[in-house]
Structure 1
Amino acid sequence: MPGALPLGDPAPVDGSLPASVVEGVADRNFGVYLHVPFCRVRCGYCDFNTYTGDELRGARRDDYAQEAVDEVRLAGRVLEGAGLPPRPVSTVFFGGGTPTMLPHSDLAAMLSSVVDTWGLVDGAEVTTEANPDSVDAAYLEALAAAGFTRVSFGMQSAVPSVLATLERTHDPERVPLVVRWARDAGLDVSLDLIYGTPGETLDDWSRSLDVALEQEPDHLSAYSLIVEDGTKLARQIRRGEVAQPDDDTAADMYELADDRLAAAGYGWYEVSNWARDEQHRSRHNLSYWQGHDWWGVGPGAHSHVGGVRWWNVKHPAAYGQRMAAGESPGAGRETLDAETRRVERVLLAVRMREGLPTSDLDPEGRAAVAGLIADGWVEGREALGGRVVLTRTGRLMADAVVRRLLPV
C-alpha cells in the first residue's frame, strides 16, 4: 500500500494561501498535475498512491472526473483570492496510477476544466501517462483531438521475464503498436524504462534499449529500480524469494544506457532522463526541478505555489467527501523558509545537465567542489566557470555528491 503522507501544519479548510505567494510570481511558470489513482493491478514494486478496484472502499471511479474538475475550480478561486495575477498554464500532466483507465472523455473533461479556468500558453505541453495495454488507436486519436500533445508509455522492459518479475501486465509486442498509433495521432512519445530488476541481466537490458530505440521516441526515462519498504517486492526479497538488486550491475546498466542513447542522438538533461533535443525535454518535470508553481489535483497529490507546499488527503473516498462538501482536499502543508528552498535548489539542480551555480552553495559546500573534481564526479572546466556539473560517474553518485555539497 502507499506510504504515509508527510508531516506538516494543518491545511486551511478553504485552501487559502498566504499573501507571500505573490512575491516573485513573474519569474515562475504555472503547471497543473492531475493524479488519477486507479490501476488494474498493483505492481509488486510500486508504492505510489494508487488503488485497484477492491481497494477503493467507498469511492467510485465513475465519479472521479467530476471531483477533479471541482478541485480545479477550487484552485482557480484560491489562486485568485491570494492575489496572484492570471497565469495561463504552461504544462499539464496526467499521472497515476493509470490515467488511461478512465474513458478518454473523462480526461478531456478534466483538461477542459484547466483550460476554462486558466487557459494555456501557446504551445503548452499536455501529457498523459499510459500503459501499453490501456489504449488503442481510437483512444489516442481522441486524446489528441481533446488537446493532448504527448503520451508517456510505461514500457519498463522488452523482456517477458523481467516484466513478470515487475508484475507488469502488458505484452512487450504491443509497444511498437501503441507508439505507431500515438505518432499517427500526432502525439509526441516518451518511453519509461526500469533497470536493475532482480534477475535482469545486462543482455536483457540491452534488448530493452534496442526495442526502445527502434521506436525512435522523442524522450526516454530510465529509472533504477528502488525497493520501497512496504511493497510486495520488499517482502519477497526479505523472505529470500527474490534476489536483492545488485548496485554494481545497475551502474553497468546505466552506463550502457547512456552510451547507447548518446550514440542514437539523445542527450541527458537530468540524471534519469534523455531527450532527442531541448524541445522534447519534459517541460512539466522541469517545472518541478526548477522550483516553479504547480497545483496537484487528486488524492495524495502535492502542490507548490510561491514557497508554500501542500498535499491532499490520500484515499479517493476521503477526497470525494471533501469535494462533495465544497472543502479543500488539503491534508497538510508547509511554508518553506529561505534555507530550505536553497537546500532544495541544490538537491535538484545538481541532477540537471546545466548544473548548479556555485553561488547557491555555502562556504563549506564551495570548498567541497575541489575534492569532487579530484574524485572525477564533477566537471572541472564547468566548475571554473561557476557551475557544478556532474560527470557520468558523478551522476551515478549524485546522492553522495549532494551530501558533500550540503554538509551537516
Structure 2
Amino acid sequence: MSLAQRRILLGVSGGIAAYKSCELVRRLRDLGAEVRVVMTEGATRFVSPTTFQALSGQPVRVSLWDAQAEAAMGHIELARWAERILVAPASADLLARLAHGLADDLLTTLCLASAAPLYLAPAMNQQMWAHPAVQANLDTLRQHGALILGPASGEQACGDIGNGRMLEPHDLRDALIASFGDRSLAGLKVVVSAGPTFEDIDPVRFIGNRSSGKMGFAVAAAAVQAGAEVTLVAGPVGLATPVGVARRIDVRSAAQMHAAVLQAAVQADIYIGAAAVGDYRPQEVSAQKLKKRDGGDLVLRLGENPDILASLSAQTTHPFLVGFAAETHDVAAYAQDKLQRKGLDMIAANQVGDGLGFEAADNALTLYWAGGAVELPRAAKSELARRLVAHVAERYRAMRG
C-alpha cells in the first residue's frame, strides 16, 4: 500500500475525535502522502495547530483572514493543490454548513472551491447522529457527490453507546488508499446482499444457516473501493458496515430481504446476491414458545420463500445480476443450471462444508457466465472479493457498455 506523492488536504472540525486525526496524519505520511491540515476555530480548542504542524511538516491554516497566506489567494491555491479532501472529524455543524453551501470559514470555502473528491468522516453524539435534520443534510451531501465514511458504533466520549463514533485512523487511511486504486465501477450503483436469513418458528426458535456474512461484506467493501455507490442489504450478522458503504439495510427474514433488495435494485446498475437466503419458512409462527412433548415429534410445515434473483430476472429491465451458488457436491453442474434457469449474467460458485465457505476466513470461487468461466483460487475473502468485483466490472462493461 502506498500514497507516495499523493496530496491530501485534511480538514479538522470541532469535536473530541480531533485527537484521532493526529494519528491519521502520521499514518498518511508513513505511506508517503503529503498532508496539509486546515482547522476550524472550534477544532483548535481540542488540538493545537502546533501539533498538526509538527506531524504534517506543513503550516496549518485556520483563518480565511490570514493576510500573509491570502496575499496570493492562498485558499484557492490549496483548493487546486488537493487531490483528496478528507474532513475528520466532520461535526454536525460542519455537515449542515456544507449541505447548504455555506462558505463562512476557510475549511468550508476550500470544500466548495475545490474539484477534488470530498470525503466526510462524521463524529457526534448518537442522539445527534439520529436527528432527522442531520440525516437530511447527509442525504443532500451524498446527492452533491460527497462520500460519507462511517460513522462507527460504540462507546462515546459522553458515555453514550451507539452510532456516531468517528472511524479509526487506519479505516480512513484505507479509504483514501482505495480511492486512488481500481475505479472500474465508478459512477455505478451496486446493491449487495449478505449474510443469512432467519425464519422464526416461535419467539425463541428459528430456522437459519451458517453464513457469517463475511464474503458479502467483503464484496460490498470491494465494490466501494472500485468506485461504486453501494447499498448493502444485510441479514442478521454482527459485522461492522464496510467503510464507504452509502446505505445499509438490516433485515431478518427472506421475505424482508426480498422486499429490501427489490426496492433498492430499482435504481441499481448491478446486483450481487451473496446472501445465503433461506429457501423455506414455517407456514405458521407460534405466538408463544412451543413446549416439548414427551414422546411426541414436532412437525413443521414449511412454505417456499420468494426468490430474489428470479424476481429480478423476470422484470423487463433489471440490473446486471450476479448470483452465488454454495454447494456441497456437483458444484459446477448446479451452478451452471442456476445461471441458465434464473437468467443470470454471472454466478459465483463455491463448495461449502468441511471447513470451506461458511464460517471460514478464506474461500475459493469459480465464476461462470454465458460462454465463459474463470477460477479464483483460495484466498482471503477480502482478496477474493476484489478479484470477483474486477470480473463483474469487466463483464458488465462488455455486456452493457
Compare CA radii of gyration and give the structure with the larger one.
Answer: 2
The answer to whether the superposition gives a TM-score over 0.5 is: no
Q: Which has the higher helix share?
A: 1
